[in-house]
Amino acid sequence: MSAEQSPLVAIMMPSMNHERFVVEAVESVFAQGYGNLLFQEA
């Protein structure tokens, strides 16, 4: 199934007082095999 056919998955990532983990967490989200993602840092 292509990304256009897959349901959109929204990801919200709270990051209060965890700055040192933000890059690793974002990379982890985008390393997933699912392609139709909406990412927003909260």
pLDDT tens over the chain, length 42 residues: 555 688 998 888 888 888 898 889 888 888 988 888 887 766
Residue 2, both tokens: 């292509």
Which pLDDT score is estimated for 4?
A: 62
Give the residue among 26, 7, 10 at the shortest CA–CA distance from 18.
Answer: 26
Phi, psi at 33, each rounded to 5°: -80, -10
- Are 9 and 33 in contact by the 8 Å Cβ rule? The answer is no
Residue 34, both tokens: 């699912």
| Rounded Cα gap, residues 7 and 21, in angstroms | 28
Which pLDDT score is estimated for 41?
A: 64
| Rounded Cα gap, residues 36 and 10, in angstroms | 9
